[in-house]
C-alpha cells in the first residue's frame, strides 16, 4: 500500500512537527543553562540566546510541517511555529508563574514568525526523494 500525505489530518501534520521543534528548543535551552552555570556564557547573553533557540525550534517545526503538508505550505509552517510558541508561552505563564512582559512577548512573536517563514520556505522548496525510481510504470 502506498502512503501519501493527501489524507493527512491537520493534527497529523502539526503535532509531530511542533513536538520536534519544541524538543529542539528545550534541548538548546538546556545546553544554554549548562553554559550559564559553567560561566562560559555571560548572563547578559541569556535573552539573545533564548530568542535564537526559539527561532531554531520554530524553524525546524516549520520546515517539517511544510515538507509534510499537501498545500498552503507557508500557513502550515507558521501554524507549527506558532504552536511551539504558544506551548512555551503557556508553560512560562502557567507552570513557572512567570510575569508576562508584552514587549518581550511581541519580540518573541516576531522572531517566531520570521523563523517559521524561513523554515516553511525551506521545507516547501525541498525536493522530495523519489522512491522506487528504478522501477518502470
**51-79 confidence digits (pLDDT tens):** 999 999 999 999 999 988 887 788 889 99
Predicted TM-score (pTM) of this structure: 0.82
User: Which cell goes with 79?
Assistant: 501554524
> Does residue 116 form part of some domain?
yes
- C-alpha closest to that of 73 among 131, 126, 3: 126
Question: Could you give the CA distance from residue 36 to residue 4 in angstroms, rounded to a whole number?
Answer: 45
Asked if residue 9 belongs to a domain, the reply is no
Q: Is residue 134 part of a domain?
A: no
Please name the helix (run of DSSP H) or strand (run of DSSP E) that holds residue 35, with its range, or none.
Answer: helix 10-37
Residues 114, 55: contact at Cβ < 8 Å?
yes
pLDDT at position 1 is 45
Residue 82's pLDDT band, with cuts at 50, 70 and 90, is: very high
Domain membership of residue 110 as a residue range: 14-125
pLDDT of the residue at 100: 84
Mean pLDDT of the chain: 86
63 belongs to a structural domain: yes
Cell numbers 556564557 label which residue? 41
Q: Summarize the confidence of residues 114-137 as an average pLDDT.
A: 77
The number of distinct structural domains making up the chain is 1
Amino acid at each position: 500500500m502506498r502512503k501519501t500525505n493527501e489524507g493527512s489530518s491537520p493534527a497529523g501534520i502539526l503535532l509531530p512537527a511542533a513536538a520536534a521543534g519544541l524538543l529542539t528548543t528545550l534541548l538548546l535551552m538546556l545546553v544554554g543553562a549548562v553554559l550559564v552555570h559553567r560561566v562560559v556564557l555571560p548572563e547578559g547573553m541569556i535573552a539573545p540566546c533564548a530568542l535564537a533557540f526559539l527561532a531554531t525550534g520554530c524553524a525546524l517545526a516549520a520546515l517539517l510541517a511544510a515538507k509534510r503538508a499537501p498545500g498552503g505550505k507557508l500557513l502550515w509552517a507558521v501554524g507549527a511555529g506558532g504552536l511551539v510558541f504558544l506551548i512555551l508561552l503557556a508553560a512560562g505563564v502557567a507552570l513557572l508563574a512567570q510575569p508576562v512582559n508584552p514587549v518581550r512577548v511581541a519580540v518573541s512573536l516576531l522572531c517566531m514568525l520570521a523563523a517559521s517563514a524561513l523554515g516553511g520556505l525551506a521545507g516547501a522548496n525541498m525536493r522530495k526523494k523519489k522512491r522506487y525510481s528504478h522501477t518502470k510504470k
